[in-house]
Amino acid sequence: MTILEIHDVTSGYGEVQILWGASLVLERGKMTALVGANGAGKTTMLHTIMGLIKPWSGSIMFEGEDVSKLAAHEKADRGLILVPEGRQLFTDMSISENLEMGASPVRARPHIEKNLKLVFEIFPRLEERKDQKAGTLSGGEQQMLAVARGIMAEPILLMMDELSLGLAPFLVLDLFERLDLLKDAGITMFLVEQNVQLALAVSDYGFVLSQGKVDLEGPARELIKNEHVQAAYLGI
């Protein structure tokens, strides 16, 4: 069942166009990856979907409703949640306080206890350090907290931008293994990631973005074997 449909979206910053008629469809209950080279427009795609920048043309359908013109907070109240690149935590606040802030959407407030239990099951280290200030955590722990804060928002679709950025390889593997637990919990995820091989390895389906357009798509396992993907992104 479709959860998000992007049709011929164009957008950019100021007068600089980044997306040139991009289209994609996400299925409920699956983890979908959006991969591509730096500058391909991956983050712009997420910002446009979320409403942080407005699409110039095209449409964004979320759960069958056209949300193209809605503001970011209105989309968050509908269950469209973004874990941004760079984490953007409240560093002077504790882990618990950051998680409470994540539950700010109206739809999330009745589910705080349920989601807090899920967060601590998936990221037990956060429970151990729940009174510690976010700014004193390691990079890997901060990224875990950023994802956990997104879970607290009761997402229907959880979008994540560059989770592996700046993390040591063993921390990246640990974090990505936990994404499987989120999928088991029924959370639909859209993963934008510079680590093409890892993103496709953990995903069900994938899209390759090139110069602001979707260049390739297909089941993730097939994309990993695609000669173009291997040559352009995997160095094979």
Q: What is the pLDDT of residues 3-18, one digit of tens each?
A: 999 999 999 999 999 9
**C-alpha–C-alpha distance, residues 191 and 207, integer Å:** 10
Count of C-beta atoms within a 10 Å radius of residue 121: 11
Backbone angles phi, psi at 3, to 5 degrees: -115, -30
Report the predicted TM-score, pTM, of the whole model to 2 decimal places.
0.93
CATH superfamily of 2-86+155-234: P-loop containing nucleotide triphosphate hydrolases (3.40.50.300)
Distance separating alpha carbons of residues 3 and 50, to the nearest angstrom: 14
Q: Are strands 157-161 and 16-27 parallel, antiparallel or unpaired?
A: unpaired
What pLDDT score was predicted for residue 173?
86
Residues in the chain, pLDDT under 70: 234-236
With beta carbons less than 8 A apart as the criterion, state whether 220 and 205 touch. yes
Q: What is the pLDDT of residue 170?
A: 82
Express each pLDDT in 140-168 by its tens digit: 889 999 999 999 999 999 999 988 888 88
Report CA dihedral (43, 81, 207, 39) to the nearest 10 degrees.
Answer: 0
Can you give the pLDDT at residue 236? 55
Q: What are the backbone dihedrals phi and psi of residue 222, each rounded to the nearest 5 degrees, phi first?
A: -75, -35
Of 171, 181, 103, residue with least CA distance to 138? 171
pLDDT number for residue 235: 62
User: What are the residue boundaries of the structural domains of the chain, listed by start?
Assistant: 2-86+155-234
Work out whether strand 2-13 and strand 16-27 pair parallel, antiparallel, or are unpaired: antiparallel
CA angle 34/189/205 to nearest 5° reads: 50
